[in-house]
Structure 1
Amino acid sequence: MSSGRRSRLPARSDGIGAHWVLLSAVMLTLGLALAIQGYINHPVDSDAPPGSARASNAGNTPGAVLEGGPIVDPRGEGVRTTAPSADSVALTFNNGPDPMWTPRILDTLREHRVHATFFVTGSAAVRHPELIRRMFAEGHEIGIQTLTNSDLAAVPDWRRQLEIRGAQKVITGITGHSPTLLRPPASYDNAALTQVQWSFMDTAADDGYLTVLSSHDSADNVRPGAEVIADRLTMQEAAGEVVLMHDGGGNRSQTVAALDAALEGASDPGHRFTTVGGSIGVDSSRPASTADTVTGNAFVWGIRITEAVVVAISWALVAAGVLTLLRAVLVMVVAARHKRAERLGREAERDRGWFEQPMRKEILEPASVIVPAYNESAGIEAAVRSIAASHHPVEVIVVDDGSTDGTADIVESLGLPGVVVIRKQNGGKPSALNAGIAAANHELVVMVDGDTVFEPDTVHLLLQRFADPKVGAISGNTKIANRGGILGAWQHIEYVVGFNLDRRLFDVAECMPTVPGAIGAFRREALDRVGGVSDDTLAEDTDLTMALSRDGWRVVYEDEALAWTEAPATLGALWKQRYRWCYGTLQAMWKHRGAMAQSGSAGKLGRRGIGYLMVFQVLLPLFAPVVDVFAIYGLVFLDPLRIAVVWTLFLLIQLVMAGYAFKLDREPMHALWTLPLQQFVYRQLMYLVVIQSVVTAFTGVRLRWHRMERYGSLRVPQAAQERS
């Protein structure tokens, strides 16, 4: 699209800061949600190296603890330990709640009217709060086993604190009571305590926690058989013990069966199964304050919300992947048929197969070529010479839209026959095009930007699709002239893929959304019926194309009609160009949103063309930052190999699409080596452009026209030089 100024637009800020603020807020929130879920669901569980605190129980651990009872009270001065009374067996369960096994254990305990102590993991409690409420309602004790059941020897002090307080907030938020019992992960009896575990217990005592170890291991975690586990529970010497069992962490069917058998056979009155608190005569929980309950609820809901966010993102990623794959298959299949139809010289027909007419009448009537120009001195000579040298009879109308760099003087100095210069005050590209249309002498009109050169046969090839009287506009095939360097190569890939896949799809589906400003042909009648070129949007070419489709005209694509244009050579220039294009496209989509509910060609444009743009050029790019952040999350918290495989498959899809498009366009493949790098820079730039455009649109700020830089890289094709 050629650069001209829109004098009517107010010189206001483009709202550039708003999109950055919004994007930063969204990404910060998303990053926080993923970090929380990564922390909650993927705890550290690695063995510490030899010589670490894990390997030794000596040092700071008091001897009274190492040799004392399983219930340790480091609160206050000194350390006290105790054990259940001689007639009591304190039943304790670790690693829950589990949605399958915890309810069965609770059912068994209720059947035998026995209470137990459950040391729960905070993250599991958040996922199954109904089980925590049931435990509390049925009179069981609830202690904490940290937030994520992480290996304490492998985490820093700050995380140990978070593990305790996080789990406490979860239980408080769910039950309204604060637990006072604590069991460190991977702890068993006193003699096996490590320095880290003792430090953890000592620190927790400052928050009022009583630590409960075990003195009798049921060994249910190794699943030796229900009978063996039941025997361990009913041994006479088990009285006065804290028994370790598990309601989570694996298949606990043997635990359920053994518990039922043990409780069924527990007839000895001196062998009473009870809770930890019941075995020593203390209350193991206290009502929480209103503030603590509110804070706990907020903590629980925060974790739930972040989990919901991650689940939603996961499903959205699946949907995006499916859409990407379906699009790749669809555009390549349709492009192949479109290319075959072109090769056979036939037109696509929607209702009865793909081909309708075996031959097309050759279009020989002259055409008017309109070149709107604002400060195009760098490339206007090459553009005009190439058009004037066309094999097809043309008149060339250069509309100088108030240039200040002598653009009109350069054209007039060429002295080329059939070239007319119109000078006018600056009014923007639409006004320049309309001035050219008014001055045109022919029924067929070609519009071309001032930074574009044609091949000698471009105009003739472009006009041939007008053999179909239903065709009102034709898109040509735009190519990048300055494709040297990695930025030029990236844009070259984008143009080749876009024109050779997407436009072929639009042609077959009869929903072409854009005839590009660089090369497009129109019937004068069609232009008159829609009122010429509108200045309602910054994408006047898209606006005009959609208006023609809604008026009942077919808009088609001619891949053999080549136009060479200059692409932005810097990231800043590229940003400005794509920002204007994207913003203008959004304006055009909104302006023509009524086509979604129409029938005929308008309905095809609305439901197919605008729908396609909305999904693949707006929604998926808006979702792209989430994909990148989730990929980082996956590398850190999930399986890096799986993430690498997914990314490689995505890249392969892109390579296959690009390779096929290059083959259709007979382009050399060497530029495709830059495609993997495109995923790390160019892709991010494009989705940031979409984000900025959407935010600008929603904030109601009207974007100013950004004039493109010209580099003078265009050259008149050799054949055109010989003719001129």
Structure 2
Amino acid sequence: MDQTPEEEPDHVFEDRSGIRGKVVVAMLVVLSVVLAVWLWDFGRRLLIDPPAAAEIAVLPAGGPRPLDALITLQTNESAPCARDESAFWQRQRLVLGYLSAADSTALTGLRSRCDQLDRVLADAFLLGAPDGTVVPLWANRNEALQELADSIAMPGGSALLVARITASTRTDELAALLSPGPALEKLVTQMAAFLASQLRPGLCLNLDAHPDLNPGVLRAALSRLKIATASPGRTPLALCLIAGPEAGFWRDPGLVALLDIAVVKGFQEGSTPMMAPAPADWFATSMAEMRALIPGPKLVVALGGFGLSWQTGQGRSLRLSYGETLSRAERAGAVPVFDATAGATRLRFLDADRQVNELWLLDAASLHNQLGALDRNQSIAIWPLGYEDPAIWSLLQPDPQDRPPHLRLQDEVDLSSQVLTETGGPALSAIEPDVKAQRWLRLDATGTRIVAQGYDRLPLPNRVQRRGGSVAGGVMLAFDGLPDGSDVEAIISALSARGAKAVFFVDLSALLEHDDAARRLSEAGHVLGLRILPPLPDRPESLVAARMQINAAQLYLSRVFGKPAALAMLRPGSGPPNFSRDAFREETDLLQRGLISVRSSFDAPYGPVDPTEFVDRILREGDPRQTQVITLDLRQSSADVAINLPDLMTRLVDDGFRFVAPELATPSGDLPPPVNDPRVSQIGDGPAFALVGFFMNGVTLLFFVMLVVSAAFSVLYIGLSLIRRPQGPIDPDFAPPVSVVIPAFNEEKVIAACIASILRSDYPDFEVYIVDDGSTDRTAEVVRGLVAENPRIHFLQETNAGKWHAENFALSAITTPIFVAADADSIFLPDTIRWLVQPFKDESVGAVAGLVEVGNRVNILSDFQHQEYMVTQNVLRRAHEFFDGILVVPGAAGAWRTKAVREGGSFSGETITEDADLTVAVHRAGYRVQFEERARSITEAPATIRAFLRQRLRWQLGMLQVSWKHRRVITSGLPVGFSVIDSIWFGPVSLLLAILDDLLLVTVLGTAIYTIALRDALPGGELPILLFTSYFIMTGIEVLRTLTAFWFERRFELKTLLLIPVLRFGYRQLLYLTAIRGLFRALAGHPTGWYKLDRTGSKLSAASDKKA
């Protein structure tokens, strides 16, 4: 039977004139050009720095030399103390280092050299109170010291704790404290509690100022302490004393026997410049005596590595670093001279105030000669760390070239990793770069001792001048970030109550997220500065990104507040002890840009701030002569800061501090505005910042909504699928005649297998209608051969008109009340037709959807589709049936009531998913659609990406067409209207939004890798947490949906389950592409064709193990 097709109807969205498509393309081209120009202009202004101010405002003169005058810049290494032990096996002596408390010079020196140390001696306690009170010198009762040890992988796992005596304690008072009694018991009890948490407990008592202490009293006190700290299974307490060689207790054999370590200072810090710190003869004689009194393994000789400065009128000397000593010499034009007899380098000069300055410097030449006076295996301690001549480390490590020690010292002297702040103040005003130099030496006749040294020019560290209003006891309040909207007024009120003004350092993200808070703070008279993350050196992309972030924030501030920021703070690593090389380079760059860099003196700890503990730390470690900058973190919890700020400010005032306004501490208000700024605000900046704000902050809400909606839908569907009850068993008495309709176009490879599987059906009364839709291959020949063999097969032919027309052609020929639709590549099981027919006992049922399985699982793409088919049919279709909302009766396994189909308008050519179109039409005709999971068909899924994209393009566009054609069903009250909304949400809308999700996920992953691997920090912020949380939650829900499908299938596939975490990496992106293509074709009016799958003819098998 042949038929000539009628004229094909217009497709939904179709524009046969092509005008709409041209208009859409033209609009896209224009939009792309406008967008490109806009991005180019905005990006150009982000890359162009504003011209520096014509004249930088003169800041008040700097204050006194700060306590952290010299620091060693830090690297980005996560564990700077980690070392290759194999490189140390040749070293003959142990090398220890001394870390003084609240000393940034020592702390940064430790971080830079701890990989060359075997153990660290750290100031930890202060003793001397008559009642025996022990005062910890580190925050959180010395927990901060162990946290430091853990963070840098300190040698030995922890520091060897040092207890020093208060300067005001006399020797007789100390003897009374250490004598048996309540004070000693209190001291022992407190010290035992402090030492209990140490894995390798050890205590050094620094008695340098008490050489005449009675050894008997000392021996008894140490014995009592050792007993108090002993416990079964615990490492015994290591006891240690520190003193000069003149101490009498070194002569007590019983006391020395009690000790595990004896640290003897090989230098003296006298009160007069007339005596050198370590004269050669004194050092040799004293150390020889100590070696005779103290067994070699116990003895540690502390070698000084510092300078001592005396100035006319000073009562005591000032300890200086090597770099600062040479800097003072350079400023005065003095020439340092090495005195071999004195064992040190000497300087003498008049300063600018006409004061006589005399300095002694224990440098690498001094240490070279001292090592020569010691045994080769003598343990030493560098005292203190951070102050030393860097060249000493070449003497303490094996030389790769096995050169003599004096030749190692003639390498270039490089102080580029050191920064010397010569004048104090909160604002950076000038930076002088480091100077490298060459050292020369002259040896004595024996060739073992250095008798003279000099430099071709003096080596110098980077030198910094800081300025600003130097107010004794002055405090400038700074905030890292902006408060949440609910906390703004509380912070403004707390500051106003004390008449204080503060500076809030922000980045573009914070400005866009808390723009209202920024406006209210600015209106209240507070200052907005830039929060800057230092870029990584030698990485162009990092430098460009940092520049763009700064300029973007400045553009925004200029647009909203009328002027850019003048102050900037580097976060993190903006000051000691974590001041990094990156941060210092950025400070230099900021200065060249005309920005004033502010360095934080004290950062409040994360979380709630204890005002008492924080102010105690400022009093203990701060410099009351300077204006100090205190920074509170609003980025973690602004509510905690708002609650604690009034108490903190009250405590500061009570302890004598005064609040200094940012304009007084760093008078940036006098900076003239930049002239001829090429970054002047443009009309497109508003949309640009709105878009950036959405990506930075608004997208968080979007993801939250997507996560909640998707999770709620998934959980709802799982619940409905479990509630839904399956159809009853087969009723053998219900077997009405059935027609099986198979439309075919070029199906010669699979049509015979399909027909054969249908003919094997155990259904008693059916016939088969095959419609050849103008095939150009051997399809007709294959079918005719089968027709001749089986009278139940009817063969219809027509000129190619599409699948919908072929099905309608068959519909016009059949006379049965029910017909089953099958795709030519489908394989029916023997009981498929019987199960499909059973629900039609209910006259209200207009269609029945079977279950389609992927039969060609040949690669990962087909495995992904198998998982998708399982979930969508076993979970979603069951759930949809519960409220009569099935949207698609699949063409590969579906049955229809002939009357219902005709009432619904038969198959339509208006959409390219005729099965979904007819399903909704049957719903609208007043019939129900049911699901019969036992009616199974095995189909061939696309096995190549090209075929998959073509199939899914048809599905995506077809569902859009169906949703638009039947849009009125949404408001009709029919349950299927909900499914239409659902299909739109889980179709193009959710897929297009998920593109944004994936783009940001890739960005966040890249940022996280960059932050962790290169910056040695953990990424923060709400967006990364939400992104990763959403990924794991949705993966978990998908696992749950798959497990639910397994439960319905009564089988478990580990392979399918393991594929779920990687579904969104590759497979999901293919779906994005089809969603975009589908939307474009809908807008352009160019619907796609049916896109028949290229058949492989491979043998199909059911995953359920039911074979055809």
CA RMSD of aligned residues (A): 5.1
Residues 298-329 of structure 1, C-alpha deviations (whole Å, 9 max, x = no match): 87985664344454433343344444444444
- Opposite residue 1096 of structure 2, the aligned amino acid is Y
Q: What secondary structure is seen at the aligned counterpart in 2 of 1:456? A: coil
Aligned to 1:40: none
Aligned to 2:861: 487
Q: How far 1:296 sits from its partner (Å)?
A: 9.9
Q: How far 1:505 sits from its partner (Å)?
A: 1.9
CA distance in 1, matches of 2:469, 2:942: 83
Q: How far 1:431 sits from its partner (Å)?
A: 1.3
Report the CA distance shift for 1:117/1:284 in structure 2 as closer, same or farther (over 3 A): farther
- Opposite residue 531 of structure 2, the aligned amino acid is L
2:764 to 373, 392, 396: 392
2:780 to 408, 413, 417: 408
Report the CA distance shift for 1:362/1:179 in structure 2 as closer, same or farther (over 3 A): same
Report the CA distance shift for 1:470/1:19 in structure 2 as closer, same or farther (over 3 A): farther
Q: How far 1:539 sits from its partner (Å)?
A: 0.3
CA distance in 1, matches of 2:925, 2:585: 78
Aligned to 2:703: 317
Residues 135-168 of structure 1, C-alpha deviations (whole Å, 9 max, x = no match): 655556x473x43455989996556655654554
2:1037 to 639, 645, 653: 653
Residues 368-427 of structure 1, C-alpha deviations (whole Å, 9 max, x = no match): 222211111111112223323433212222111111112122111121112121221111
Q: What secondary structure is seen at the aligned counterpart in 2 of 1:701? A: coil
After the TM superposition, which residues 426-505 of structure 1 pair with which residues of structure 2 at under 5 Å, given as runs? Answer: 426-505=800-879
CA distance in 1, matches of 2:828, 2:575: 85
- Contact 1:368/1:396 (8 A) holds in 2: yes
Q: How far 1:585 sits from its partner (Å)?
A: 1.6
Q: What secondary structure is seen at the aligned counterpart in 1 of 2:531? A: coil
Q: How far 1:467 sits from its partner (Å)?
A: 0.8
CA distance in 2, matches of 1:620, 1:192: 45
1:695 to 1071, 1074, 1080: 1080
CA distance in 2, matches of 1:92, 1:430: 78
- Contact 1:74/1:201 (8 A) holds in 2: no
Aligned to 1:362: 733
CA distance in 1, matches of 2:1100, 2:568: 79
Report the CA distance shift for 1:246/1:452 in structure 2 as closer, same or farther (over 3 A): closer
- Contact 2:429/2:467 (8 A) holds in 1: no
1:590 to 950, 964, 971: 964
Answer with 1 or 2: which has the greater Rg.
2
Q: How far 1:531 sits from its partner (Å)?
A: 2.6
Provide structure 2 residue ranges, at least 5 long, that are not aligned to the other structure: 40-73, 82-107, 114-320, 324-414, 434-461, 635-639, 1009-1018, 1103-1107
Matched, 1:383 2:383: no
- Contact 1:84/1:276 (8 A) holds in 2: no
Aligned to 1:225: 612
Aligned to 1:284: 670
Residues 649-675 of structure 1, C-alpha deviations (whole Å, 9 max, x = no match): 543432332233234235563552553
CA distance in 1, matches of 2:671, 2:811: 85
Matched, 1:706 2:706: no
Residues 264-303 of structure 1, C-alpha deviations (whole Å, 9 max, x = no match): 999xxxx997546547988434456796785499879856
CA distance in 2, matches of 1:494, 1:574: 13
1:208 to 574, 594, 607: 594
Aligned to 2:987: 617
After the TM superposition, which residues 542-561 of structure 1 pair with which residues of structure 2 at under 5 Å, given as runs? Answer: 542-561=916-935
- Opposite residue 612 of structure 1, the aligned amino acid is D
CA distance in 1, matches of 2:675, 2:816: 85
- Opposite residue 400 of structure 1, the aligned amino acid is D
Residues 238-273 of structure 1, C-alpha deviations (whole Å, 9 max, x = no match): 67x42323354574766644645777999xxxx997
2:692 to 292, 298, 306: 306
Q: What secondary structure is seen at the aligned counterpart in 2 of 1:450? A: coil
* Larger helix share, 1 or 2: 1
Q: How far 1:442 sits from its partner (Å)?
A: 2.0
How many residues end up aligned between the 2 structures? 669
Taking only the aligned residue pairs, the percentage that are identical comes to 25
Report the CA distance shift for 1:616/1:281 in structure 2 as closer, same or farther (over 3 A): closer
Q: What secondary structure is seen at the aligned counterpart in 1 of 2:811? A: helix
Q: How far 1:428 sits from its partner (Å)?
A: 1.1
Matched, 1:334 2:720: yes
CA distance in 2, matches of 1:679, 1:302: 30
- Opposite residue 404 of structure 1, the aligned amino acid is T
- Contact 1:84/1:279 (8 A) holds in 2: yes
1:418 to 775, 788, 792: 792
Report the CA distance shift for 1:642/1:330 in structure 2 as closer, same or farther (over 3 A): closer
Residues 324-373 of structure 1, C-alpha deviations (whole Å, 9 max, x = no match): 444444434433444x442x44xxxxxxxxxxxxx968322212222211
CA distance in 1, matches of 2:1094, 2:756: 21
CA distance in 2, matches of 1:64, 1:310: 38
CA distance in 1, matches of 2:696, 2:576: 40
Residues 110-146 of structure 1, C-alpha deviations (whole Å, 9 max, x = no match): 456x565626233545554556555655556x473x4
Report the CA distance shift for 1:649/1:130 in structure 2 as closer, same or farther (over 3 A): closer
Report the CA distance shift for 1:284/1:471 in structure 2 as closer, same or farther (over 3 A): same
Report the CA distance shift for 1:90/1:569 in structure 2 as closer, same or farther (over 3 A): same
CA distance in 2, matches of 1:477, 1:515: 10
CA distance in 2, matches of 1:82, 1:366: 97
- Contact 1:401/1:429 (8 A) holds in 2: yes
* Larger strand share, 1 or 2: 2
Report the CA distance shift for 1:19/1:626 in structure 2 as closer, same or farther (over 3 A): farther
- Contact 2:477/2:630 (8 A) holds in 1: yes
Matched, 1:605 2:976: yes
Tell which deviates more after alignment, 245-254 or 526-535: 245-254
- Contact 2:535/2:543 (8 A) holds in 1: no
Provide structure 1 residue ranges, at least 5 long, that are not aligned to the other structure: 31-43, 346-358, 718-722
Aligned to 2:1056: 672
Report the CA distance shift for 1:261/1:491 in structure 2 as closer, same or farther (over 3 A): closer
CA distance in 1, matches of 2:647, 2:893: 79
- Opposite residue 709 of structure 1, the aligned amino acid is D
Tell which deviates more after alignment, 635-644 or 370-379: 635-644
Aligned to 1:35: none
Q: How far 1:578 sits from its partner (Å)?
A: 1.7
Q: What secondary structure is seen at the aligned counterpart in 1 of 2:975? A: helix
Report the CA distance shift for 1:274/1:570 in structure 2 as closer, same or farther (over 3 A): closer
Report the CA distance shift for 1:691/1:207 in structure 2 as closer, same or farther (over 3 A): same
- Contact 1:117/1:275 (8 A) holds in 2: yes
Q: What secondary structure is seen at the aligned counterpart in 2 of 1:693? A: helix
- Opposite residue 225 of structure 1, the aligned amino acid is T
Tell which deviates more after alignment, 197-206 or 369-378: 197-206
Q: How far 1:530 sits from its partner (Å)?
A: 2.4
Higher relative contact order (CA closer than 8 Å, sequence separation 6+) = 1
Aligned to 2:477: 93
Report the CA distance shift for 1:128/1:287 in structure 2 as closer, same or farther (over 3 A): farther
Aligned to 1:373: 744
- Opposite residue 460 of structure 1, the aligned amino acid is R
CA distance in 2, matches of 1:55, 1:6: 84
After the TM superposition, which residues 9-158 of structure 1 pair with which residues of structure 2 at under 5 Å, given as runs? Answer: 59=415, 66-67=422-423, 71-74=427-430, 91-96=475-480, 98-99=482-483, 107=493, 110=496, 116=501, 118=503, 120-123=505-508, 124=510, 126-129=512-515, 132-133=518-519, 136-137=522-523, 142=527, 144=529, 146-148=530-532, 158=544
Q: How far 1:546 sits from its partner (Å)?
A: 0.8
- Contact 2:421/2:463 (8 A) holds in 1: yes
Q: What secondary structure is seen at the aligned counterpart in 2 of 1:93? A: strand
CA distance in 2, matches of 1:125, 1:45: 30
Q: What secondary structure is seen at the aligned counterpart in 2 of 1:66? A: strand
- Contact 2:532/2:571 (8 A) holds in 1: no
1:681 to 1066, 1070, 1074: 1066
Q: How far 1:686 sits from its partner (Å)?
A: 2.6
Q: How far 1:94 sits from its partner (Å)?
A: 2.3
